Every structure is written in C-alpha cells, then in structure tokens.
C-alpha cells in the first residue's frame, strides 16, 4: 500500500475535467495527459497488450499465473473529473488522525468541512483524510479508483505466488458527461464480467441504477408589440412556465430519495418568440419511468389543445437503463464482491445508484459490470474528501476478487 497515496496525489494534480459542450472524443484533450501517464505505468508494471487509442481509452492485460480455468475479470475506472467544479491546480491536504472537529479547508475564504453539514465525517475519527483546499474538487471520482486498481496490480507484480486468473484493465474518458462507454470496445476488452471502481463510501456495492432519459421541449410564441398585444401575443416563456407547473412537484429531485424517481428541470432559456426547456427523467422501475415520460407528453398535449395549435414540441432521448436486468442472471459476480469485502473486513452496503454509471451501459453492451466503492465523499465539489483507510480497503477488495483461492 506504500505507493497508494503517492499515486493518488500525483493523479489528482493532472487536470482532466471533461466538457459537456464539446463534440470531440475525448471531450477535452487534457485527458490524454493522465492517459499517457497511465499507459507508461501499466507498461512498467509489466502488463501486456497495453493500448491507448485515439479516443482516450486505455486497455491492458495481466495474464493469469495459474493453469486453473478461471473467468476473465475486468476492472474499470474513469480518467475525467466533473465539469461541475474546477479540477485545475488541485492542492490536497492530508488530515492525519482526524479528531472529529471542523476542518479548515481555506482560511482566506473561510471554508470549513464540518460534521454539522456532513455528519458522516464522524465515521472516520482516528483515520487520515485527504481533502481539498476549498478552491477545487479533489478528483477522488474517479482517480481514487484508478490509484486503487494500479496499486492492486503492483501487489500482484510483487507477489507472484498469489494466484489469479487473467485480469483486464480499462480506463475511460468522459464518464462524467455520460459518454464513458460510447467507444468502449467490449470485444477487445474480452472479459467475462467487470467491476467499475467508482462508488462512494466504504462498502458500497451497486448493481442497479436509474433508467434515464432527457427531454428537450421547444415552445413557439408569438411576439407582438406589447402596446398592441391584447388577444394576439403568445409569450413562449410563460407557456414554458405553465407547462412546468403541470408536472408533479413532489417528484422533483429535492423531494425524492431511495427508489423514488424524479423529473428534473435542468435548463430554461428563451424570449417571447421562442423558448426551450430541458428535463432529465429518472426512475429505477421501468413502468414508473415510462409513466414519467407520459406525464411530460400529456402536459404538452394539454397546452397545445388549450391554445388550439401546436406550440409545444417534445423530444425524448433515452440515455441508459437499469443494469439490474443484466446483472440478475449472473448474480454470482455480486456475491463474489460481497465475499471479497467481508474477507477484507468491510461490511457490504448494497444500494441502488441514484444516477448512472458506465457499468450500466457496459452491462447492456454484453459486459456485466456492477460498481464497487472507491471510498470518497461529496464528489464534484470543494467539500470532497476521501479517507486513506477506505482507499486501502478498496485495494484489498480488488485483490480478493481477483485472486484464486482453492
């Protein structure tokens, strides 16, 4: 474990923020800066078939060191960090033997990481935390996963008597903007199943996620000089607000949890003549997911009937599906992860992801891929932190999944 923290600190100092607005692959060229570092490190560790393609995907193979016929297992993490907050010039701080009190992240800006706001901090009293300096995110999502996989590979290199089957490694770009699986070559990867090391707190084990879609709604108005607008003007912005008012308030994300889904207004722009509003639609259960889409379509239909013409046009794009459908036939891979956690002294926390994961899309591409904890908290912002001991346990879990025991 001696190189785990050093690796992580080195990786997070490389800015790899992805970009929703970009149409290139990867969405930002700077992701290649870390990709090339990883390519070299994989080669130095003696892995075979190390490749970095033009789209920013890295793949490598650690051959089996046993003649036993074993499944080929993949481990996957993503290179990019979220566009939600800056990942440039990350200045991590290490809080040794955390005492449970407020942590000063930045004196100049008076930014504190406090248990009153983040009560789970109390779980880590006596442990060592890596935090931000309050001006950037940390990058544990998912550079912790990368560091943990690399450290597990180093373990196998240094302990050749520990038997394991063939291991496949994949590091991907653009996961944070939902494109991480777009150009992932499942056939080339050639694993029987895989795990994304991309979850949150210690013990998380996830094999179900939202069904997801995005709705883009365009509204036509009619702009007339306001002094002469009576019975003539149609203000597209007000019509957009009217449509939004028809959607269920209690099914917004700020009022939902657990297996409850939501319809989330993400963008609204326009003028009198035309407007556009965008929503994301999420639900774990397929029938409720379809119902959410129907609610939006029915609201649009109502508006068009009310005004007697087609003012509202709805386009719904499917984004990803609940991977549970593809994991249930091979539940032994979840059971293997549970056993690996228990053998590492970690209590599995099986929960549904209130979001998406590359593993969901990969599962529907023929590579069943549940998600395992990386150890971090408060991703995508300045309050992000990760306990070093959780990272160490993640490495143990990866090793336990990979190694062969008679």
Residue 211: beta bridge partners? 283
And the tokens for 295?
A: 């609610």
* Torsion angle in degrees (nearest 10) through CA of 257, 258, 263, 264: 50
Contact indicator for 81, 141 with CB cutoff of 8 Å: yes
Rounded distance between C-alpha atoms, residue 35 and residue 80, angstroms: 10
Sheet strand arrangement including 48-52:
48-52, 58-62, 167-172, 73-78, 193-199, 371-373, 204-206, 349-350
Rounded distance between C-alpha atoms, residue 172 and residue 281, angstroms: 25
Residue 340: beta bridge partners? none
Contact indicator for 84, 20 with CB cutoff of 8 Å: no
Rounded distance between C-alpha atoms, residue 397 and residue 338, angstroms: 9
Handedness of CA 143, 175, 63, 36 (dihedral sign): negative
| Strand, helix or coil for residue 169 | strand
And the tokens for 120?
A: 């789970």
Rounded distance between C-alpha atoms, residue 132 and residue 381, angstroms: 9
Half-sphere exposure of 228 (CA within 13 A, CB side): 2
Q: Does the bond joining 142 to the residue before it have cis omega, within 30 degrees of 0?
A: yes
And the tokens for 276?
A: 């556009």
Selection from 367, 19, 342 nearest residue 195 by Cα: 367
- Cβ contacts of 257 within 8 Å, gap of 6 or more: 354
Residue 129: beta bridge partners? 95, 387
Residues carrying an active site annotation: 80, 175
Name the DSSP class of 309.
Answer: S
- Cβ contacts of 145 within 8 Å, gap of 6 or more: 77, 78, 196, 197, 198, 374, 394
């Amino acid at each position: 474990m001696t190189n785990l923290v050093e690796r992580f600190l080195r990786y997070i100092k490389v800015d790899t923020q992805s970009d929703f607005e970009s149409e290139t692959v990867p969405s930002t060229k700077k992701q290649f800066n870390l990709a090339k570092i990883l390519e070299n490190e994989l080669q130095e560790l003696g892995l075979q078939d190390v490749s970095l393609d033009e789209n920013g995907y890295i793949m490598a193979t650690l051959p089996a060191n046993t003649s036993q016929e074993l499944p080929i297992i993949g481990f996957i993490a993503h290179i990019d960090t979220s566009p939600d907050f800056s990942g440039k010039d990350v200045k991590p701080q290490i809080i040794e033997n955390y005492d449970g009190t407020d942590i000063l992240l930045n004196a100049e800006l008076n930014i504190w990481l406090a248990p009153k706001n983040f009560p789970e901090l109390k779980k880590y009293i006596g442990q060592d935390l890596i935090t931000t300096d309050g001006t950037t995110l940390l990058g544990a999502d998912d550079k912790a996963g990368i560091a943990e996989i690399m450290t597990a590979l180093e373990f196998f290199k240094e302990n050749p008597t520990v038997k394991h089957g063939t291991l496949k490694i994949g590091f991907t770009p653009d996961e944070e903007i939902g494109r991480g699986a777009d150009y992932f070559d499942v056939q080339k990867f050639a694993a029987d199943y895989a795990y994304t090391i991309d979850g949150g707190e210690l013990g998380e084990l996830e094999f179900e996620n939202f069904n997801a879609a995005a709705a883009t709604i365009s509204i036509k108005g009619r702009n007339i000089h306001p002094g002469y607008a009576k019975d003539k003007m149609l203000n597209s912005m007000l019509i957009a607000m009217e449509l939004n008012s028809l959607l269920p308030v209690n099914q917004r994300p700020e009022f939902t949890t657990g297996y409850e889904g939501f319809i989330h207004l993400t963008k609204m722009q326009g003028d009198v003549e035309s407007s556009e509003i965008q929503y994301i639609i999420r639900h774990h259960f397929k029938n409720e997911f379809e119902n959410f889409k129907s609610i939006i379509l029915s609201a649009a239909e109502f508006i068009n009937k009310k005004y007697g013409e087609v003012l509202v046009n709805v386009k719904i794009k499917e984004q990803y599906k609940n991977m549970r459908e593809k994991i249930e036939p091979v539940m032994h891979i979840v059971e293997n992860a549970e056993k690996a956690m228990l053998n590492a002294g970690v209590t599995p926390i099986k929960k549904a992801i209130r979001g998406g994961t590359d593993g969901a899309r990969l599962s529907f591409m023929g590579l069943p891929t549940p998600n395992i904890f990386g150890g971090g908290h408060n991703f995508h912002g300045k309050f992000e932190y990760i306990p070093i001991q959780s990272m160490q346990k993640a490495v143990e879990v990866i090793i336990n999944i990979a190694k062969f025991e008679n």
